[in-house]
A and B are shown apart, each in its own frame.
Chain A
């Protein structure tokens, strides 16, 4: 009897426990995040400013700082040992981790904006994301060739994304840009916040269309040396004025979420090449400065003045003087052969903004971050016109591009300075170049690429690298038979001075990153053995 009584009580206790357990549903529903936003409450217009800022940050030195070195713009000063990896061109897989992750990180946020905006019906916001994405995807392909594209960003379905063919991605980007242009033709209904979130073009949808068109043209130009390449169907769309046309003078694309001179809040270029935000600011970049090669280029090229007294007036905007002169170093040279940081010319006001009255550089901290300056679009249009792809006079587009470069860099009295420069500089002068080199399309494309190269010093080294890989214009500058004022070789070569370098040409691509070999090895190994000097991207001659 006793025993049975016990059992009842016992069961009662178990019952109480279970009851408490099962009655506690709402008591346990406390796992929604009080600290961070989740898919339940995030909106695409909250992601877009960050994603657009990331696109600007990539352009403001970002992961491509080493290209400024490879292309003869920047060089290490004598304060630090040279970076063995970049100066020997002996790059490895981990070297690409930064560029790869930065690009996919930004692209994923843009993808999120697009997906979430389309769910809401905000097509303009989706279009803006697609246009910025197209720029990044193209650059990713230009650096790596085949990359994960159609399988990307679907982690449930494709935890190990396969690689898409580079050319197929290019074609798909053209289609995506066409869709974006269509989206941009529709003004979003009231209640959408696209103009507020648009830190790039401030809701100017026709400007976005011009942005899309120049990106379309940029992809076509990359393929100019591919034999049998026929751009006509894409050109028909670009030349169709209802699609918005191409950017003109003043159509610079940039972003600014509200940069200010404070820790972490500076304009990205200023934060890398300028000064810190302290009361007595110090250089942010203590290891890098002027490269002798670009100094030689800026000093030379005049047909009428054969002394370094006449120099490209942009030199003063790209670089600061040290005791009245410009002092650069040879890329990859031993630290012992280089000027110290204090004695090397530092980045100038054209890149990092002008100093205030007391000589302190602060204004650049809040300036807009360029994504694609107008002069660059004009150079591209000039080449397209020369190739007969678009309407317009190649020479006047070329000269207008040079003038806009002077204006972009805020050269004093820019218009007249540019005129005088074009008149007096052998490789800025359409006629003199034709007389020397010939007047074929390829000859003129070289001239345009050389000027574009000079204008892009510290601004868009990636474009210069791509032009060099396509047209090899830097070899022309290094040609001792070129009738330029001062032989560049007297100053330096852009090729590294490091005796450990494994090639006397710069790499034409990056290797796939270590993170892919670690996490996605089957698919990355399917791309075969990659060599940074010989595994060409599909558009390379």
Chain B
């Protein structure tokens, strides 16, 4: 970030060269990236053991008993090592100590193990009640036990250079999170399906869960589903045997599903030892920041779906369409609260929202034949709208994000995801300039500088309304090529990279006026009444007559004073907020199978395919997006969407290839 774009970074590869070595690296604020690659390492291994035992017994032709025990054991071990920094005497004496000072090596070892044991038992079977009428059923229960344990230990001051063992440290060892986590889930369910002549079916399911992560009163919850389908092309004789329509199915379902969106032990306030505690024999605890509602309930999704599936022209054209509506109730959210409550984060069933839309796809197979080759085409489209129906106490719920986002630059914007009744699930709440009733930015009559508003504005939506996918492919003989294109639109995003770039002076925005003084565009000046302390009155501020357009007052400093200033630029979230629409070429796949005559059934090698694959090849974004891929998310609290920062590395463009040999 603090590196100018004309610096030839590739030439610093040799860490022993004159300019590449640690002490001589040109930048006072950053370390040679090649040094970091070589010296800050994180290595780990995970071993998994998956086991499965199943016993079936047929009590009667239509009663089969099944007992299944499945286990997944995982053992992980990792080691993070930071190499010691040894700088030259000259660098220690003359360069800034933030980077250029000696530091000992450090290491942390981590061991963890987890186990998930699933025990399922059920009876199942099917039976024809008559020639036309049959049913099938499953009834049973399940028990899941999930455990996790993690132990960390390490040392900050390693006495022997480049030997990474806790035994060679001085001072206290670092004892990291030593966590145990265990939950149990017991379930009982029934699934009953009826079918008539093979073209009409209806299925009922019901399930009750008991989950250890909830309090005794809320532990048990039931959720049923019913779905039905009819294949009209089989049911209605007049639809049979025509060249136009080859298959037509209608289906629908009404479902409810429950989910416990919690980790174990989240129902209680916790206390832990922060910072340097314990100091010798003095321990000290602080109240942790989250206040959970001990009465948390499971989340439910109540869904309704109605759909059609059709094939035309001897299966050459396929069309699927589904209308869906979902009501999500009791969403467990992390809520931002005032620090004065003692708990800046609350955990509660804080919002209900609705999701509705249409999902469909069209398959053309083949779309067209070109000589010996053929072109196929598949397209899918989803329109998904959503709306918050209610929130805790009907007050806006701040879901997460941060104020003073953790970023490189000093003074960065406040932006959050927020749930407001009647708005999309979810929208953004963010900092903005002070504006007059017409929306013009209000600048100071003397300095020409804009200012940060105390009110946050709410706008935008976090999730796309439209997602389109296009998959054309072409194949001729043994050669085939396919592409996956995707378009998402309707949502917005915030790029924290923007304010960092402005701070470092490497953004296009910051050079917009050639670093010279300028008149802030579309701005006005307040000339209305002020109170005794010289502060504009609320009534005055609300009246558009008290503003005059600013045509000639330039900002007092058009250079770093403006562009790195928090209230004038870098803390204004709306400066870095925009449409998240994007077209992208997700994947390009080219493959070639060697002709059968060279290999083939009689030879040792039966099949050989060579393919090349490229991922994230192209990205097209609107001109307003100067910052790149809008699909990044990073936040200090909560599960959020559309909040990017400079801490994620950009999506990597990936090229790969494969050779598949079949013997």
Contacts and interface: CB of A to CB of B under 8 A. Distances in A.
Interface of A: 6, 9-10, 13-14, 16-18, 20-21, 24-25, 27-40, 42, 46-51, 53-54, 79-81, 83-85, 88, 90-95, 97, 100-101, 104-105, 108-109, 111-112, 147-148, 151-155, 158-161, 199, 257-260, 262-266, 276-280, 282-283, 286, 340-342, 498-500, 502, 511-521, 525, 528-531, 534-536
Interface in B547-596: 556-557, 560-562, 564-568, 571
Given A92-B567, A153-B340, A83 B219 contact: no
A534 B342 contact: no
B186 interface: yes
Nearest to A57: B275
B338 A148 contact: yes
B448 to A, nearest CB: 12
Contact of A30 (B122, B183, B398): B183
Given A283-B97, A519-B344, 14 more contacts: A20-B186, A21-B187, A33-B265, A42-B271, A50-B285, A50-B286, A53-B277, A93-B431, A97-B404, A154-B341, A259-B279, A342-B93, A520-B338, A536-B533
B232 interface: no
Nearest to A343: B94
B123 interface: yes
Contacts of B556: 499-500
A90 B271 CA distance: 38
Contact of A161 (B208, B340, B456): B340
A17 to B, nearest CB: 3
B274 A50 contact: yes
B101 A264 contact: no
Contact of B284 (A48, A79, A90, A154): A48
A57 to B, nearest CB: 8
B270 A33 contact: yes
Given A37-B270, A47-B284, A258-B280, A28 B565 contact: no
B382 interface: no
A515 B157 contact: no
Contacts of A94: 403-404, 411-412, 414, 431, 566, 571
Nearest to B186: A24
A529 B274 CA distance: 36
Nearest to A199: B282
B171 A525 contact: no
B403 A97 contact: yes
Given A27-B184, A279-B104, A84 B123 contact: no
A79 B403 contact: no
B269 interface: yes
A17 B269 contact: no
B502 to A, nearest CB: 11
Nearest to A533: B534
Interface of B: 28, 62-63, 92-98, 101-104, 122-123, 127, 137, 139-141, 143, 156-157, 171-172, 177-184, 186-190, 208, 210-216, 219-220, 264-265, 267-277, 279-288, 291, 336-344, 346, 393, 395, 398, 403-404, 410-412, 414, 416, 429, 431, 444, 447, 449, 452, 454-456, 533-536, 538, 556-557, 560-562, 564-568, 571
A47 B454 contact: no
B542 to A, nearest CB: 12
Contacts of A282: 92, 97, 101-103
Given A50-B286, A278-B101, A35 B456 contact: no
Contacts of A518: 336, 398, 403, 414, 416, 429, 456
B340 A534 contact: no
A34 B337 contact: no
Contacts of B188: 14, 17-18, 20-21
Contacts of B536: 529
28 contacts: A17-B140, A28-B184, A28-B210, A29-B212, A33-B265, A38-B270, A47-B284, A53-B284, A84-B560, A94-B414, A94-B431, A100-B339, A101-B339, A148-B338, A151-B340, A153-B342, A264-B276, A265-B276, A278-B104, A282-B97, A341-B96, A511-B454, A512-B454, A518-B403, A519-B337, A519-B344, A519-B398, A529-B536
Contact of B342 (A79, A104, A521): A104
B176 to A, nearest CB: 12
B335 to A, nearest CB: 8
B499 to A, nearest CB: 12
Contacts of A511: 454
A519 B337 CA distance: 5
B534 A534 contact: yes
A158 B267 contact: no
A241 B181 CA distance: 56
A83 to B, nearest CB: 6
A36 B266 CA distance: 11
Contact of A499 (B271, B454, B557): B557
B411 A85 contact: yes
Contacts of B410: 83-85
Given A16-B141, A20-B186, A265-B276, A286 B96 contact: yes
Contact of A155 (B92, B123, B341): B341
Given A35-B178, A92-B411, A257 B277 contact: yes
B571 A502 contact: no
B428 to A, nearest CB: 12
Nearest to B566: A85
Contacts of B398: 518-519
Contacts of B172: 262, 265
Contacts of A27: 184, 186
B28 A79 contact: yes
Contacts of A105: 286, 339
Nearest to B184: A28
Contacts of B220: 21
A111 B180 contact: no
A528 B454 CA distance: 10
Contacts of A516: 338-340
B285 A42 contact: yes
A34 B180 contact: yes
A271 to B, nearest CB: 9
Contact of A25 (B96, B216, B533): B216
Contacts of B344: 101, 515, 519
Given A21-B186, A81-B564, A529-B535, A28 B211 contact: yes
A497 to B, nearest CB: 13
Nearest to A262: B171
B637 to A, nearest CB: 11
With a 10 A CB-CB cut-off, give which of A94, A158, A536 has the most chain B CB atoms. A94
Given A35-B179, A159-B346, A286-B98, A534 B535 contact: yes
B265 A32 contact: yes
A80 to B, nearest CB: 8
B71 to A, nearest CB: 18
B455 to A, nearest CB: 7
A277 B455 CA distance: 44
Given A36-B270, A39-B269, A85-B565, A277 B171 contact: yes
A356 B300 CA distance: 66
Contacts of B270: 33, 36-38
A50 B566 contact: no
Given A13-B139, A79-B28, A518-B403, A264 B285 contact: no
State the 7 A-B residue pairs at the shortest beta-carbon distance, nearest first: A17-B188, A50-B284, A282-B101, A258-B279, A500-B561, A148-B340, A49-B284
A118 B264 CA distance: 31
Contacts of A153: 340-342
B349 to A, nearest CB: 14
Given A92-B566, A155-B346, A518-B403, A265 B279 contact: yes
B62 to A, nearest CB: 8
B104 A79 contact: no
B433 to A, nearest CB: 11
A259 B197 CA distance: 81
B102 to A, nearest CB: 5
B567 A90 contact: yes
